[in-house]
Amino acid sequence: MSDFDFDLFVIGGGSGGVRAARVAAGETGAKVALAEEDRYGGTCVIRGCVPKKLMVFASGYPEMAAEAQAYGWDMTVGDFNWDHFHGKLAAELDRLEAIYRKLLAGSGVETFDARAKVVDAHTVELSTGERKTAKHILLAMGGRPVSPDIPGAELAITSNEIFHLPKLPKNILIVGGGYIASEFAGVMNGLGVKTTQFYRGAQILRGFDDEARGLIAEEMIQKGVDLHLGTNVLEMKQVEDGIWVKATNGTEHVFDHVMFATGRKPNTDEMGLEEVGVKLGRKGEVLVDEYSQTAVPSIYAIGDATDRVNLTPVAIREGMAFVETVFKGNPTPVDHDLIPSAVFTQPEYGTVGLSEEDARAQEPIEVYCTSFKPMQSSFAGRPDRVMMKLIVSQANRKVLGVHIVAPAAGEMIQMAGIAVKMGATKEDFDRVVAVHPVMAEELVTMRNPTRTG
């Protein structure tokens, strides 16, 4: 008979926590519990990737209709019906949450719709007052958006609230230059909202490849986003016709809504973690080793709570590695190397491996890059441009990075990611016969380097 109520207690019902819980219970027979204070599915399913991607889809139809006319179709776009879309969106999120709950129940995981905090190395306390003991505790609480400390900041919304607006605004200010801010700038602009974006830095999408983010910014501006670089918000206040905003460049504006996308923070506040010996970093992230183990041997952490690589598939992989290590006796370190990712800006951006700047700082490289009008846009007389880029090591000819700015770049980068993860060389790419006519054929037809160094 076990001395504990459970073999594993998971705190957090997002993608990583749910996967770890149900695999531990379903595949190893462990007695597992999970506590979630909000909705099951976490950031990705409820207030992140899934609803955002559906909004990206919705915002792309006006351009499709305009392009269709150039191809001979008598097609016009009427007004966007936010109520219709929002109702379907809410129903879809309800459906997905129900699936998460069903998967947990089907695996034999006991669930608690309550907030949980850690009391000691083997005990959690629920907001209901109950205490449960477990041999292992897995922290998977995720993260949340944070707003800057400026006068009037409470008037703004974040990415959490933008999915639940009662009506679509006529205009909006989006503050931030990361992928969340830039994605929603494209979404709102595509839905017909007059969209302004402020970013305090010199270029959006800091940390990504410079050439790629430059093209994305140009294309966003061309599509109608009023992008102001080197600009931030000084103060805001409520006025009769909206939210008055004073910017660092001295200008003043009134917007229906202001959305802050200026950073995220791990959900580790008031969790009792440091009191029991779990070490936290400067941003409140749970510090873990390569096996996701904290400074307390019985407590592990995965996903955005650790602020390692904040992507849903990464959290799931971390959860699977945790189960392999702890419940299957197969110590499995988490592999965070060469993770493909997509940014659903308009145009879309797919990337895997090193940026040109990071690669150049590491070793001598060759850069193969082409930017062009794709056939579909060119025929329609549209100015849209795409980019394909390979970063290649001069020493061993390995492809160190692939960058794609184009429609469906996320779909393309998934395939390119396999080759890069396998250690493919430029010559391996060259040996592949091109598929014609498609944009991605450029990845295997670029023969001469654009630049070296």
Residues annotated within the binding site are 53, 176-183, 263, 304
List of residues 6+ apart from 385 with CB closer than 8 A: 215, 219, 371, 372, 373
Site of tokens 């995220």: 264
Pairing relation of β-strands 116-120 and 123-126? antiparallel
* Identity at 245, one-letter amino acid code: V
* Identity at 111, one-letter amino acid code: T
My answer on whether omega of the bond before 449 falls inside 30° of 0, hence cis, is no
Contact 442, 435 (CB under 8 A): no
Contact 406, 367 (CB under 8 A): no
Q: Which residues participate in the annotated binding site for FAD? A: 53, 304
Of 286, 228, 274, 217, give the one whose Cα is nearest residue 255: 228
> Catalytic site residue 228?
no
Helix (H) or strand (E) holding 421: helix 409-421
Q: Which residues participate in the annotated binding site for NAD(+)? A: 176-183, 263
Contact 204, 189 (CB under 8 A): no
Contact 236, 153 (CB under 8 A): yes
Pairing relation of β-strands 264-266 and 143-145? antiparallel
**Cα–Cα distance, 285 to 201 (Å, whole number):** 25
**Cα–Cα distance, 446 to 442 (Å, whole number):** 6
**Rounded to 5 degrees, what angle do the CA atoms 241, 243, 249 make?**
125
My answer on whether omega of the bond before 437 falls inside 30° of 0, hence cis, is yes
The catalytic residue among 86, 136, 253, 436 is 436
What length does the chain have?
Answer: 453
Q: Distance of alpha carbon 60 from its chain centroid, rounded?
A: 19
Q: Active-site residues: which are they?
A: 436
